[in-house]
Chains A and B, each alone.
Chain A
């Protein structure tokens, strides 16, 4: 259940004024001096008025936000609907989400009128791979005199999946992918993908596909578009197990990179309409077939929640279905690269990130 709360605290300017007021009031009391009394009164007046006028019901603001999927480190824009349920309007509020707006300035809202919904676009960037079921927003206001700060923490129950950041795949992996693509026989002149046409380079695409000569001639980045045919089903083993005797929470950098590589690999394969038979080796081996967006989302959610697990031996029947596939990718996310199961795989296995250092 989402709960909200609010608090009022002194700003830096308010602290300075409060100290000066205390000094002046102390001097006025000790010395019975009319001038010191006047100074204390003039300093205390804005403090009193600001404290009395401060908006204390900011937490009565309801934030409505849809479920979101984001990629770690990638910017996104959330469209929020704010409804203030207080009796008076909330003025000059700053809205932020600490989790996703560490490097983004808060959003300055105008006056939130009671009961009137306001739609705002919030720019954010989730830096950490995660799957959370509630989001925390902070609504802050220094209205009217900025001597006190009213701050409300508003929690909203929603689904927020931060997928692993995509990483560029190594040349060996790309080559392995290319070699496994079976082009149509009538057009194939060589093993691998066929050149098809040219189009403009998109920002997220691998720079190795850029056609250098055409790009130089046209003055803009142009990319080779190749077509081919992948095997119908590709195997993917995500091994989250740590090597025997190794601490559980070490090698997190490799772990995160491996999850990113897994997500990139899945995206690459799914763009080419391949089915992926995924086997996740963690505390219990999970196996599922990715053949549509729903399964892809499920896999990415699993990647968002994945944690390294302790080493355990695998039952022999785990790889039954994978053994029938032509090619398989093995991602030792837990750094267990010397797994005997890799060697036991009869067909071609490409270890992704095996040389990661």
Chain B
């Protein structure tokens, strides 16, 4: 005869398997460059070993063994795998208990193991960013583990009723847990977006909220190195690939190519605004000529491939004469501003531009004043700025002035991706005038240079976009740009030339390369598939629509409201009295009413027994009343029929009660009161 495993055993195995899956997914999510396999083995091995140790071993022996094993494993890892980074070492303290709890497989360890694996998963996300498939897989496994531990906890404190449990509880549990996993993931997404919608104090201080359709676009100086003040679509990608640029002629894309996506013209000491725009929808289908090409200078054609996160932007190098392959383009020709209004989707478009030499004797554009490119902040204290201009011998000639300012900034300030600090109330003043370490990044260099140029009467603005990029490993000459290549520079308008780039940021610091998915082993095809493919898919559009935060928030609110909505009282079950008891109750009610009229009212909340006892204490319980009460109780609770004898008993009590004189009762009450 084969002994079948008990249902609880099967569920225990399922819980252990789900917990193990969670732990493995959390470990896989850790970055390999921070957690070398040797270190992982050293941090998890002793815990795994101790978890499988028989529990009969004395506790102090196990503690001693754990200490010795862990120390030896760490020493070996330090010797053969090299040192660990500090965050990794801090995060590694969670791994031994996780391994121990996972290996021990006790019922009570389920919740603890889940929590520890969740912490490890978060460490991986913090160190290496979020890998959506791993996190989703972890969520599903965690749902199964939670469901199984909940079932085990209920079984542990109870006694199962025979045949109450399903025949295959583990399979049943997996099915129900998988059914819960999807709502859990949707709820997580909704909560994440909801929290993101709540205005944060730190976000308010650093980067104001901007909308894509707002013409008065602003960006914070103390913002992190993101476009559009951290609230645009670019920032959603968290530093991955945005565009891929290749030359149509097959030449190499210049490494110092600027790709402009926007500008800021309204000055400020803390943040700049975009100012007024006179954008109009470009006509002519998908091909747009922006300006007449200068003679004797070749037009270089670039193919720019946008990925999903960059679909709302049109990147074009300064000096662009024509754009092809973009539908629904909004153009402000004077300001050289391009944006795809709606219906934008990732895809390729072509840009033709001229790499014109620097203007030597060309005057600045006279329309610059009308465009507000000479405006200064209202609260600007000009004295220290003028002192700097004098110190750096800044001339009124645009190019010479720009060069002098760039040299002065390079000597006066230091590039660092840290916000400037100091005693002043504005970031820009701290960047320029703080004593000691004056540091900042491209936005501060560009802002300072633009203000100094305007103080010298040279119109200018801040251009933002991408710079530098990285070589495309799949195609020679092509370059990949991500939000880590976002950059800011200064643009000076010249007559007949448009806006010419002047970059005050030290050349060695422009568009610093940061680790990206390609460096971590991903192929461009994977990236392109992730970024581009789904958006062209109608299913993706549907998913995008469904996953909009407001829709999810609405669904969440509706679900909560439906669960909290009060239900009607009529649905509540009532214990139906036997039908024969109704006439008995009517007679009893009449008896009680007559007694109340005689001054023997039943107290509020008084049971029939208490009422009878009260009457007995006052010597007012006639035998007929007691018999009537007993007859009613027998019918109501004793399951006895309301036969003729009991009915006579109640009728007799009713007659006796009716014969009670009210005065006699009052006298009796008076006598009782005196007693």
Contact = CB atoms under 8 A, between A and B. Distances in A.
Partners in one complex: yes
Contacts of A121: 161
A130 interface: no
Interface stretch (B162-170, B444-452, B532-540): B162-170
B522 interface: no
A29 B200 contact: yes
A133 B154 CA distance: 31
Contact of A1 (B111, B130, B575, B639): B575
A330 interface: no
Interface string A44-84: 11101101111011011110000100000000000000000
Contacts of A13: 111
A105 B150 contact: no
A94 B187 contact: no
B476 interface: no
B166 A142 contact: no
Contacts of A46: 142-143, 146, 184
Given A142-B150, A142-B154, A38 B160 contact: no
A156 interface: yes
Contact of B154 (A41, A85, A94): A94
Contacts of B143: 46, 145
Contact of A44 (B158, B183, B187, B567): B187
A40 B191 CA distance: 8
B184 A62 contact: no
Which of the four size classes fits the interface of chain A? Answer: 35 or more
Interface stretch (B264-272, B555-563, B659-667): B555-563
A144 B617 CA distance: 54
B151 A41 contact: no
Given A29-B198, A108-B159, A57 B150 contact: no
Contacts of B149: 146
Contacts of B203: 32
Given A108-B161, A108-B164, A146-B149, A34 B238 contact: yes
A157 B637 contact: yes
Given A59-B572, A61-B573, A45 B184 contact: yes
Interface in A1-16: 1-4, 13
Contacts of B607: 133
A229 B433 CA distance: 119
A187 interface: no
A144 B176 CA distance: 8
B552 to A, nearest CB: 11
A4 B147 contact: no
Nearest to A282: B616
Contacts of A133: 607, 637
A110 interface: yes
B202 A41 contact: no
Contacts of A159: 637-638
B146 A146 contact: yes
A6 to B, nearest CB: 10
Contacts of A43: 118
B616 A284 contact: yes
Given A46-B143, A108-B160, A146-B154, 20 more contacts: A29-B201, A30-B200, A31-B202, A32-B202, A38-B122, A39-B122, A41-B188, A42-B118, A42-B135, A44-B191, A52-B563, A53-B180, A67-B637, A106-B158, A108-B154, A144-B177, A145-B143, A146-B150, A283-B616, A305-B609
6 closest A-B pairs by beta carbon, nearest first, are A146-B150, A110-B164, A41-B192, A45-B188, A108-B158, A32-B200
Interface of A: 1-4, 13, 25, 28-32, 34-35, 37-46, 48-49, 51-54, 56-57, 59-62, 67, 85, 92, 94, 104-111, 120-121, 123, 133, 142-146, 156-159, 283-284, 305
26 contacts: A4-B572, A4-B573, A28-B195, A32-B200, A32-B203, A40-B195, A41-B195, A44-B191, A46-B184, A48-B187, A53-B180, A56-B563, A67-B638, A108-B155, A108-B159, A108-B160, A110-B163, A111-B166, A120-B161, A133-B637, A143-B154, A145-B143, A146-B153, A157-B575, A159-B637, A283-B616
